[in-house]
Chain A
Amino acid sequence: MSTVKLTVNGRAVSADVEDRTLLVHLLRDHLNLTGTHVGCDTSQCGACTVHLDGRAVKSCTMLAAQAAGSSVTTIEGIAKGDELHPMQAAFRDNHGLQCGFCTPGMIMASIDIVHRHGGKLDETTVRHELEGNICRCTGYHNIVKAVLDAAGHMKVAQAAE
């Protein structure tokens, strides 16, 4: 057992966990942040994607202890109160989800994509960059539309800040 200290959605957190505990299990089982999903056991589906120090990572593919000292953002940490994050709003507006299982990971991966590419996103780039996120429902088309839509809004929001 170790005490793992990290920041989750802006809040300092300390948890006593076994060294083999995965970050996703720390989030879901110890912090009750069940928005982060587990969709596979092969590190391929991306349903567990969170931000670690601002970068998208698969929380099923790292130990909680590896995240000690870092700052983690989950799907629960991106809205401002009742106001959805522009990426969440774009997924809703563009029908970018059906069952919703992949959606938290899709949204966290997509925010990271927009952050890294700024306003220079095109459809090909979005499709290449979403290769680590699997969706069984949508056929991806509306997800790609949502990301491009949100990229526009996020640019406007950033410019206004």
Chain B
Amino acid sequence: MYQTTYHRPSSVDEAVALFGKGNDAKYLSGGQTLIPVMKQRLASPSDVIDLARIKELIGVDVSGDTVTIKAATPHYEVAQNSALQKAIPALAHLASHIGDPAVRHRGTIGGSLANNDPSADYPSAVLALGATIKTNKRSIAADDFFKGLFATALEDGEIITAVAFPVPAKAGYAKFPHPASRFALTGVFVAKTRSGDVRVAATGASQNGVMRVAAIEAALKANWSASALANVTIAASGLMSDIHGSADYRANLIKVMAERAVTAAG
């Protein structure tokens, strides 16, 4: 790892000010992505600004029709929160299957979304549930947030402060985990909103990162059941092909994971 300077601010405002002073600063939340990348010398920030102990960035709030997860809340706390488990069980299930326990104790939703790994779990839930990403500057709709591989709508120095999820009528998540890393070889999140709309998002599949799956949305809108997907075919064009799975294989996985997710959603 290259030299860096560590900072531990106690508020979002202080963190933003520190970011402005560094010549190539980076925020550090759970560090479960940034530290490995720094160890490999693929990132060499002049300053790392620790968000993990900023109290206003930690916690889960469930009120009526919205679940709000503050950005530096670790995956483990999301998975364990009993009010959240009741409101959106699929989200708790997703959080409890990210990586392994040690990763879940440190890794955070804000870091996962800012990083936007094409195989990460949270982006699928954020997109399918139509969540809103709150930053220190504005609110960004999920549909406008993800901009392709490792790219987001965040501006330089902008901090995600929280993510607000509307509570759906039904939701489910199923992933085919990579056997070593547990990242999604393909994962699908299905959601039926309280107004009857259906949104489906797949991660780990597209060359452009998380994506909506229109064919599955249409089939589930007509009939919310796994059997409704029997005759759906997913095009392989634009999907990833690597040693772990061909584009055709991933196309089939999208369908199979969607079937499992709908079954889990009930």
Contact = CB atoms under 8 A, between A and B. Distances in A.
B4 A61 contact: no
The 6 closest A-B CB pairs, nearest first, are: A132-B100, A19-B6, A65-B6, A55-B105, A131-B100, A20-B1
Interface of B: 1-6, 8, 28, 31-32, 35-36, 38-40, 48, 50, 52, 76, 99-103, 105-106, 180-182
Contact of A46 (B8, B100, B105): B100
Interface in A88-137: 109, 112-113, 116, 129-133
A58 interface: yes
B31 A66 contact: yes
Contacts of A129: 100-101
B105 A56 contact: yes
A52 to B, nearest CB: 8
Contacts of A57: 102, 105-106
A132 B99 contact: yes
B4 A19 contact: yes
B100 A62 contact: no
Nearest to B181: A44
Query: Which range holds the interface residue count of chain A?
Result: 20 to 34
Contacts of B8: 65, 68
A21 B102 CA distance: 19
A18 interface: yes
A116 B101 CA distance: 10
A56 B6 CA distance: 23
Contacts of A113: 101
Identify which of B36, B101, B105, B182 gathers the most chain A CB atoms within 10 Å of its CB. B101
Contacts of A20: 1-4, 38
Nearest to A21: B1
A42 B3 contact: no
Contacts, number: 81
A55 B101 CA distance: 9
A20 to B, nearest CB: 5
Contacts of A65: 6, 8, 50
Interface string A44-79: 101001001001111011110110100000000000
Given A19-B4, A61-B106, A109 B32 contact: no
A22 B31 CA distance: 11
A112 B102 CA distance: 10
14 contacts: A19-B4, A20-B4, A20-B38, A22-B1, A22-B39, A42-B36, A43-B103, A52-B105, A55-B105, A57-B106, A58-B103, A65-B6, A65-B50, A66-B50
B82 to A, nearest CB: 15
A63 B35 contact: yes
A29 interface: no
Contacts of B181: 44
A56 B28 CA distance: 19
A132 B101 contact: yes
A53 B23 CA distance: 33
Given A19-B3, A131-B100, A63 B105 contact: no
A55 B80 CA distance: 14
Contacts of A18: 3
A116 B6 CA distance: 31
A109 B36 contact: no
Interface in A22-44: 22, 41-44
B110 to A, nearest CB: 16
A129 B6 CA distance: 32
